[in-house]
Copies of this chain bind each other. A is one copy, B any other.
Amino acid sequence: MTKGLSIIGAVLGLAIAAGAATGQDAQQKALSDATKARQAQMQLYAFNLGQLGAMAKGEVAYDSTAATAAASNLASLARLDQSKLWPEGSDDMSVEGSRALPAIWENLPDVMSKSSDLATAASAMEAAAGTDLASLQAAMGAVGGACGACHKAYRTPSN
């Protein structure tokens, strides 16, 4: 009976260990997926901001319709619900390719405040971009500042 129990225990133990490993793999995949999804969002920010920046710098001729489209995209992206994009354990020490500093999860109110600053700046850009080049240029500072404030505090430097 003791032997029977220990065999059952060993089988269960193996099964639990296998289950735990699968669970860990699934958990790691979920963390990696969230990391990639937030990086995708950053890439879309950058793509739309790049178009606005090219106009602001005079590299591309100002186009009211294109400026409004890019600014509306940026504002819509900044308003997305990001609650699933930043799971604890997806920092740069834990997930390959992540540049998110662990400090994020120790300073969530500040992170949320910086995120809100970006949404506010992007909404102001959305309102300004289609007016004229000077209005677009005037709105760039707050957007760039909001990006930079969060990156400076919470992102590892690029290699």
Contacts and interface: CB of A to CB of B under 8 A. Distances in A.
A80 interface: yes
Interface stretch (A67-75, A127-135, A148-156): A67-75
A79 interface: yes
Contacts of A80: 44, 73, 76-77
Contacts of A37: 43-44, 47
Interface in A83-107: 83-85
A72 to B, nearest CB: 7
A132 to B, nearest CB: 20
Among A39, A70, A76, A85, the one with the most B-chain Cβ atoms within 10 Å of its Cβ is A76
A110 interface: no
A41 interface: yes
A39 to B, nearest CB: 8
Interface string A37-62: 10111011001001100000000000
Contacts of A73: 80-81
Contact of A43 (B40, B76, B79): B40
A25 interface: no
A44 B40 CA distance: 7
Interface of A: 33-34, 36-37, 39-41, 43-44, 47, 50-51, 66, 69-70, 72-73, 76-77, 79-81, 83-85
